Chain A
Amino acid sequence: MGLDYKWVFWNTHKKAYDRLIVSGMVIYLVLFFTISFLTNPEIIAETVIIRAFGSLAIIMLHIILAIGPLTRLNTKFLPVLYNRRHLGVSMFLAALIHGIFAIIHFHALGNVNPIYSLFTSNMDYGSLTNFPFQVLGFFALLILFVMASTSHDFFLHNLSAKTWKRLHMMVYLAYALVILHVFLGAFQQETSVFTTATLFLGWLTLVSLHLVAAFKESKVDRFVAEKNTEGWHKVCPPEEIEESRAKIFTVKGERVAIFKYDGKLSAIHNVCKHQGGPLGEGKIVDGCVTCPWHGYQYLPHNGQSPPPFTEKVKTYALKIEKGMVYINPKAFPEGTAIPPISSS
């Protein structure tokens, strides 16, 4: 959380992860080049570059798409999630090199504009197996470009978290386009059981992870709490909540984080305004609820970020009845101060 924007927000952990990303990419490329030239000495450099960077981008895309559901299934993966943005931009750069070399190699030597050539060199748009697959890759690259260029906090802040999230969910369309680009392109020209099966297994892994995580979340969303006569939802005994931590509770399909701190209890909406991080998985640091994803902070009693920051989340009223915490399901507007209740 910072007041001014920086081109790249690096800290010690991010630098370590970035070194890991760069080393992984370099090792993969070196191995790919070595094996390609050893197994096929006649192969030309442009072909190897196109293949190496294309396959690298696909592998990275699979890793990126697996991180979200993995963190929902196991919080041990959270540190990887904090660094997903840099991985995404690196993946785009690999895809861009693949795209640029492919356009130069196959379309730049004629007498028409290379982009025009990409769309018109094969006009068999009505066919499936002869479909101009390069067009699919072009649109996937375009989506990845939009995502990479708007990945900075400046755009997140100015587009609003909701719009930004919608925009970045286009990565799923990019993934589908990339898969079809490979199946209708490379696999048509060089049939290989190994590469086909690998990509199919990648799809199977991603689909399984996302659907398992989605159905697990749906189960939590459908939770119906016991209510008292006034319609307040029964949560748990206060002792069940750890000091400086929260219990995440479902109210009308939305998640609420009930925090215990300094002998008090307060409830706020669980979703961080920055990137939708789960506030209830964070803890109280310096008197503020601190998002586990990027450290955005909120005061627990009013859901407001401490000045000069302006982020606000909804708040909820709590009470204790017969040794049980109850929550009013009706949320207060974002930033409304609600006096905390005693946890004893």
Chain B
Amino acid sequence: MIAGQRKAHKYIWIGIAVVLPLLMFLAIKDLDFTSARTSDASGELPVSFSLSGQSLKIQVDTPLKSTASLVYEMYTDGSRGNILGQLEGRGSYEFLISPGTKGIYIMDAIKKEELFKIEF
């Protein structure tokens, strides 16, 4: 390497030594390392909903951490019923629910974990 390249390498790695750990720290400072579950599950709901007759509107305020979130009906006995659809990101979603539906489950389809349970 010529002298200029040696200097450039040095300054780049000083930059990586200073900036990267700061960003790494900021990225993980709020994570809960005691639980293996998604951070969505431990915090408050990132979704809000409104029910009008058989029409269920779900508003996703912040992106869900799970990559494939499926919405299921909750039967009166609390069991999981029909699949209503998928939440793919921030936005407004509308689903038609069966009469007598008690609430919904939002599931992580990949990990097969329950993310949220919402009762009407």
Given contacts A189-B38, A192-B36, contact A176 B20 (CB under 8 A): yes
Within 8 A of A (CB), among B20-47: 20-21, 23-24, 26-28, 30-33, 35-36, 38-39
- Chain B, 61-74, contact with A by CB distance < 8 Å: what is the 0/1 string? 01101110000000
Q: Is the CB of B66 within 8 A of A189?
A: yes
List of A residues within 8 angstroms of B31 by Cβ: 187-188, 191
Given contacts A191-B36, A214-B9, contact A129 B27 (CB under 8 A): yes
Q: Is the CB of A183 within 8 A of B32?
A: no
List of A residues within 8 angstroms of B17 by Cβ: 207, 211
Q: Which of A11-19, A82-90, A120-128 contacts B (4 or more CB under 8 A)?
A: A120-128
- Chain A, 167-194, contact with B by CB distance < 8 Å: what is the 0/1 string? 0010010011001100110011111110
List of B residues within 8 angstroms of A180 by Cβ: 20, 23-24, 27
Q: Taking the nearest CB of chain B, how far is it from the CB of A137, in angstroms?
A: 14
Number of chain B residues whose Cβ lies closer than 8 Å to a Cβ of chain A: 39
Tell me whether A254 is interfacial, beta carbon within 8 Å.
Answer: yes
- Chain B, 52-94, contact with A by CB distance < 8 Å: what is the 0/1 string? 0000000000110111000000000000000000001110000
List of B residues within 8 angstroms of A42 by Cβ: 112
Question: Quick one: which of A122, A169, A183, A188 contacts B9, CB cutoff 8 A?
Answer: A169
Tell me whether A165 is interfacial, beta carbon within 8 Å.
Answer: yes
Within 8 A of B (CB), among A45-61: 47
List of B residues within 8 angstroms of A215 by Cβ: 10
Closest to A44 in B: B110
Could you tell me the distance between the alpha carbons of A180 and B33 in the complex, rounded to whole angstroms? 18
List of B residues within 8 angstroms of A110 by Cβ: 88
Q: Is the CB of A187 within 8 A of B16?
A: no
CB contacts between A and B, total, < 8 Å: 109
Q: Taking the nearest CB of chain A, how far is it from the CB of B17, in angstroms?
A: 4
Tell me whether A319 is interfacial, beta carbon within 8 Å.
Answer: no
Closest to B65 in A: A189
Could you tell me the distance between the alpha carbons of A182 and B1 in the complex, rounded to whole angstroms? 31
Tell me whether A271 is interfacial, beta carbon within 8 Å.
Answer: yes
Q: Is the CB of B20 within 8 A of A191?
A: no
Tell me whether A77 is interfacial, beta carbon within 8 Å.
Answer: no
List of B residues within 8 angstroms of A183 by Cβ: 23-24, 27-28
Could you tell me the distance between the alpha carbons of A253 and B6 in the complex, rounded to whole angstroms? 10
List of B residues within 8 angstroms of A271 by Cβ: 1-2
Could you tell me the distance between the alpha carbons of A124 and B19 in the complex, rounded to whole angstroms? 22
Question: Quick one: which of B1, B13, B27, B62 contacts A124, CB cutoff 8 A?
Answer: B62
List of B residues within 8 angstroms of A189 by Cβ: 38-39, 65-67
Tell me whether A200 is interfacial, beta carbon within 8 Å.
Answer: yes
Question: Quick one: which of A122, A176, A211, A276 contacts B1, CB cutoff 8 A?
Answer: A276
Could you tell me the distance between the alpha carbons of A200 and B27 in the complex, rounded to whole angstroms? 13
List of B residues within 8 angstroms of A190 by Cβ: 36, 38
Could you tell me the distance between the alpha carbons of A94 and B13 in the complex, rounded to whole angstroms? 25
Could you tell me the distance between the alpha carbons of A231 and B55 in the complex, rounded to whole angstroms? 90
Q: Taking the nearest CB of chain B, how far is it from the CB of A312, in angstroms?
A: 15
Closest to B13 in A: A210
Apart from the given pairs A122-B89, A165-B5, A221-B6, 18 other A-B contacts in the complex at a CB distance below 8 Å: A44-B110, A105-B67, A122-B90, A180-B24, A184-B27, A187-B31, A188-B31, A188-B39, A189-B67, A190-B36, A190-B38, A193-B33, A200-B24, A206-B16, A207-B16, A210-B13, A211-B10, A221-B3
7 contacts between A and B (CB under 8 A): A106-B67, A122-B89, A124-B63, A172-B12, A180-B20, A188-B27, A214-B9
User: B residues engaging A (CB < 8 A)?
Assistant: 1-3, 5-6, 8-10, 12-14, 16-17, 19-21, 23-24, 26-28, 30-33, 35-36, 38-39, 62-63, 65-67, 88-90, 110, 112
